[in-house]
Amino acid sequence: MLASHLTFLQEAQEPAADLSRLAEHLPYEWVERAVQATGTASIRRRRLPAEQVVWLVIALAMYRHWSVSEVLDSLDLVLPDETAPCVSKSAVVQARQRVGQAPLAWLFEQTARTWSQQDAQHHAFKGLSLWAMDGTTLRTADSPANREHFGAQGYASGKVASYPQVRAVTLTAIPTHLVSAIGFGRYDTNEMLYAKGLLPQIPDDSLTVFDKGFLAAEILCGLTMGGQNRHFLIPAKSNTCWEVTGGKAHDADVRMRVSPQARKKCPALPEFWSARAIRTVDARGRERVLLTSLRDRRRFRAADIVACYERRWHIETSYRELKQSMLGMELSLRSRTVDGVYQEIWGALIAYNLIRREIASAAREAKPLPTDISFVRALHMIQHEMMWAAMTPAYAKLPACLHRLREQLKSLPNVKRPGRSCDRVVKSRPARYAVRYLRKVP
């Protein structure tokens, strides 16, 4: 059972044979509470009860290159039955449909909230936990149900994208890259709406770094007004206008007017909102202005704030790790139904956070930063250890395997060459007609 395989992720040194106490990171009790709280627990005895289906969905994200049948057989997820050693594909589909997305969503929220709180105290920026909010998209299978529900990108020419897409906005912990919260759904829904839904989940005593697309009084004022000691850091747009009220040219206090449209939509907004504008020049000589609510110049120096913003760009790799490394560079998600897409996304997020949580635990022992450990190597290592556990009944060896896994993770630094910069590459537009290559005549 995958529940026992995830014993590799526990930190406690209790006897491994006690299978009632499962992984510390994802206790089996949480899975049981997830299916019970959402009313999806199995009443009759099944080969694939609801709890096993939850583990299956998580495992499908870790083994994206395998079919569902291969995952079931290789990880021994099906309860034994001598009369029927195999489970049909239709039975697996029906089991996933019975469970739905609710238990996975409940489990993600529970684990993300707990793990984020545990890691926040270890990686604070002058007493503030660090977060980043950004958006991304995921492609789904091109089925009529997915296209009708999620929609797709439209072009000026009137053409529509080949695949339906899911739009998502995530709240990610900058030090560990753990996804703390997410809002996703239809592609034509504005990112601002998803971002507003995530604001209540940002903890107090925090600094959230935004992409410039979220530069709006409704978002930034909603962050600072909705909690205690919650701050923002965001780059200004080229057309952002403000009035300087104090400070210096490179580190000024500014005031901006809230548009009448924004105040009509949200009457609680003030007429003006203030920020600190820090001018900086990047490695390529381009000038950038950073707006922040950290007004104390003695405690928060401009250089420290600029360095903190540079760390925000590293969370872009979390999207690459989730969409490319874990999902195996596949063109789209597996599921062809709307509920299956939601279920699959929740399972992928739980699996991603499990790997990130184990990396953070290994980093605390080896003393490097969690982002200095290779995610791809850690993913492959955990995959191999889970496979070994499925084939080895000697559970007494699990503590030794856990120790080996941690030691291997510590020795996998993700070394970055200093001063390296990668230019963004603009891909050539596909030609409308086939390209003809002329053969040279000797």
Give the pLDDT of residue 120: 64
Tell how far CA 405 is from the center of its chain.
23
Query: What's 216's domain CATH number?
Result: 3.90.350.10
Give the pLDDT of residue 9: 36
Indicate whether 52 and 79 sit together in one domain.
yes
Indicate whether 391 and 251 sit together in one domain.
no
Residue 118 in domain:
no
Residue 61 in domain:
yes
Confidence bin at 400 (pLDDT 50/70/90): low
CA-CA distance, 218 to 315, in Å (whole number)? 24
Indicate whether 253 and 397 sit together in one domain.
no
Give the pLDDT of residue 282: 76
Percentage of the chain lying above the pLDDT 70 cut = 77
Residue 361 has pLDDT above 90, yes or no: no
Do 169 and 319 contact (CB within 8 A), yes or no?
Answer: no
Residue 436 in domain:
no
For 83-106, how does the pLDDT look when each residue is reduced to its tens digit (9 = 90+)? Answer: 666 777 888 888 889 888 999 999
Burial 318-333 (b: 16+ CB within 10 A, else e): bbebbbebbbeeeebb
Indicate whether 148 and 81 sit together in one domain.
no
Indicate whether 284 and 311 sit together in one domain.
yes
Residue 108 in domain:
no
E strand intervals along 198-330:
206-210, 230-235, 243-247, 251-257, 272-281, 287-292
Find the domain containing 386 and state its range. Answer: 2-103+332-410
- Determine if the pTM surpasses 0.85: no
CA-CA distance, 226 to 209, in Å (whole number)? 16
Confidence bin at 134 (pLDDT 50/70/90): very high
Give the pLDDT of residue 139: 92
* Beta pairing partners, 207: 130, 231
Q: Report, as an integer, the average pLDDT of 48-63.
A: 86
Q: Cα dihedral sign for 272, 273, 278, 284? A: negative
Residue 357 in domain:
yes
Contacts of 431 (CB under 8 A, 6+ apart): none
Q: How far is CA 406 from CA 293, 363, 436, in A?
A: 39, 9, 54
Indicate whether 191 and 148 sit together in one domain.
yes
Indicate whether 294 and 149 sit together in one domain.
yes
Indicate whether 51 and 139 sit together in one domain.
no
Confidence bin at 52 (pLDDT 50/70/90): confident
Residue 40 in domain:
yes
Q: What is the mean pLDDT of the chain?
A: 80
Indicate whether 143 and 70 sit together in one domain.
no
Give the pLDDT of residue 372: 84
Indicate whether 51 and 146 sit together in one domain.
no
